[in-house]
Structure 1
Amino acid sequence: MKIIVPMAGIGSRLRPHTLTVPKPLTVIAGKPIVQRLVEDISSVIDEEIDEIAFIIGPAKKGFPENTTATLLQIANELGAKGNVYVQEEALGTAHALFCAKNSLFGPCVVAYADTLFKADFKLDANADGAIWVKQVADPSAFGVVKLDNGFITDFVEKPQEFVSDLAIIGIYYFKDGDRVRNEIKYLIDNDLKENNEYQLTNVLETLKSEGAKFIPGTVNTWMDCGKKDPTVDTNKQVLEFEYKAGNNLVSKDVVLENSEIIQPCYIGENVVLKNTKIGPYVSLGSNSVIENAAITNSLIQSNVTISNANLDNAMIGNHAKFNGKFTSVSIGDYTELT
């Protein structure tokens, strides 16, 4: 089984944090978003993953030189071969997938790296395909699927009138990746675009019309990492899941000086806390120093210095320095507010 992860978007809605770090590599509770994504998929598939292919954007769009090495390490930690492809131009979801055409064959899961999920179902590998969905209150903002007798009959993009409340979350299983690759090639060869892009939903419609049967894969929790506030909330939910699973995410070498950690929290290595109360729902990266502060429900990266602060619903990037009385802040890498 292969996992293919298109992640070439620039993540503009999460700026300034994505100016130096691609959104899928933003660290949530100690792990990059994309690593948590492929780990969750692996647990649902319950099959050996032999390859993970990542589709990234070019360096000129904010993908640093070490991106490839980081992604290959993520694949290696799951015992899989890693491949990294580059989508030089943003031409749609199907085009992004076609950039990994050399990996698009046989059974595979395609997961767009904008989201995290929790699910307790197991994938039926005998189905032609599966599309992960989540019931939502307002389906008009999403692509949705219609069902009949347990099979998907229609794909509807952002319906203005109610047809279904099962939103597509951007994760798909294909039993035959070769058919998907050939259908995308047909779109590109014949320049069949929708809104000036090659869309995966058009490929799904064609496969369905040719007799492919798709089933839904329902998730219990769908976590968004598109903007600052939803990303901080995703961090909170991941910490809650980890804590309930009995996982201690606080490093053993944390230095506490008149300080308190209220679980659940992630605290990285070589962190010093002085006259500080951390938590609940705080992720704090390694090599950071926090002094005279109270921090709750916040996502803070590595090598950060914070003093005289009262923070809630905050997101702070790597190598940042913050000294002040603001609360719901969003500070990118290497920023100093002192």
Structure 2
Amino acid sequence: MAGRGSRLRPHTLTVPKPLIPIAGKPIVQRLVEEIADVMKQELEEIAFIIQEDFGKEIENHLLDVAASLNAKGVIYYQDKPLGTGHAIMCAQKSLDGPCVIAYADTLFKADFNLDESADSVIWVKQVENPKAYGVVELNEEKEITGLVEKPQEFVSDLAVIGIYYFKQGEVLKAELQKVLDNNIIHGGEYQINDGIKAMMEKGMKFVPGKVDEWMDCGNKNITVDTNNRMLQFLHKDGHSLVAESVTIKNSEIIPPCYIGEDVVLKNVTIGPNVSLGDGCVVEDATIKNSLIQSFATIKNANLDNAMIGNHATFDGNFTSVSIGDYSELV
């Protein structure tokens, strides 16, 4: 998670993208919780690969995420954007035994049993247009025999979503060290795929783990849509999403909505598909399909497909807005 998330600016100017809340929880926390659910095992350690200049407040936040899952949190730094293979090797001290590697701007929903006979499992999602993705190539036994980036001829319709399980992390570490030592670069970066392909060439067994839903957080519109879908999943599963401390005056909440602690609603209609972070004040407004972070003030608004940052103030006629932290649009 060392990237800057430039496509999601201005929301990533003050916090890294994986800490943007989706339905009230940071992206990275929801991701780790879903991984833990699929693995059906207790997590011993969660290693976060970040930029050093993210700061101690964000580091402490990440350590709290690990603690909330009863795991030890570890911070590693990647100070140069040299690719996924390089980023993983920044955390090589943690690459020992069974491990999961995940890109922290992806969310998924899945219910599959991990194939414990495999050396590795690569999470995949069936897609309509495989030419736009990196996909896996399968043999007759449904084992993965190759990785193909944006194939122009049909290989498969199973796209790699960026989450991997390795039975022996030290084997991946050894192969990625060879990638670094031999300066094997694609697109100016060291890639995890070169380590995986070397493992395949040695006869290691790779199998797909098919996910039911794959949600990205690449830009504002996609992130708002992901928030909408996550709210729908949580509501369907019976989760309580409205805090008891919410003050509601002459207002209606249309589920699914996440509404955090100490939110004040006056003369408003909220929902469906709205997240309101802690401490927000909303007056004389209608909001749907929107993601609003903590301590925002919104008045006289009719919002749809909006994303508003922490401590922001909005009072106006615009509908599909994107406002960063501590901004004012009045």
Q: 1:73 aligns with which of 56, 64, 70?
A: 64
Q: 1:307 aligns with which of 285, 293, 299?
A: 299
Q: How many angstroms apart in 1 are the aligned matches of 2:153 and 2:138? A: 16
AA aligned opposite 2:41: E
Name the SS for the 1:270 alignment partner. coil
Q: 1:206 aligns with which of 198, 206, 211?
A: 198
Q: 2:308 aligns with which of 298, 316, 324?
A: 316
Equivalent residue for 2:143?
151
CA deviation after TM superposition for structure 1 residue 57, in Å: 1.6
Q: 2:2 aligns with which of 2, 5, 8?
A: 8
Q: Is the 8 A contact 1:223 1:234 kept in 2?
A: yes
Equivalent residue for 1:183?
175
Equivalent residue for 1:242?
234
Equivalent residue for 1:334?
326
Percentage of identical aligned residues = 61
1:1-338 equivalences in 2 (<5 Å): 7-59=1-53, 63-148=54-139, 149-338=141-330
Name the SS for the 1:10 alignment partner. coil
AA aligned opposite 2:321: V
CA deviation after TM superposition for structure 1 residue 161, in Å: 2.3
Deviations 1:122-168 (A, max 9, x none): 21223100000001111122110011111001100111222211100
AA aligned opposite 2:320: S
AA aligned opposite 1:78: L
Q: Is the 8 A contact 1:294 1:309 kept in 2?
A: yes
Structure 1 runs, 4 residues or longer, greater than 4 Å off: none
Q: How many angstroms apart in 1 are the aligned matches of 2:301 and 2:183? A: 55
Give the TM-score taking structure 2 as reference length.
0.98
AA aligned opposite 2:145: T
Equivalent residue for 1:3?
none
CA deviation after TM superposition for structure 1 residue 307, in Å: 0.3
AA aligned opposite 1:241: F
Q: How many angstroms apart in 2 are the aligned matches of 1:314 and 1:173? A: 36
CA deviation after TM superposition for structure 1 residue 99, in Å: 0.3
Q: How many angstroms apart in 2 are the aligned matches of 1:220 and 1:212? A: 26
Q: How many angstroms apart in 2 are the aligned matches of 1:278 and 1:48? A: 37
Question: Which runs of no fewer than 5 residues in structure 1 stay unpaired?
Answer: 1-6
Name the SS for the 1:302 alignment partner. coil
Deviations 1:4-38 (A, max 9, x none): xxx11110110110011100000111100000000
CA deviation after TM superposition for structure 1 residue 64, in Å: 3.5
CA deviation after TM superposition for structure 1 residue 65, in Å: 2.9
CA deviation after TM superposition for structure 1 residue 191, in Å: 1.3
Alpha-carbon RMSD across the aligned residues, in angstroms, is 0.8
Q: How many angstroms apart in 2 are the aligned matches of 1:176 and 1:277? A: 52
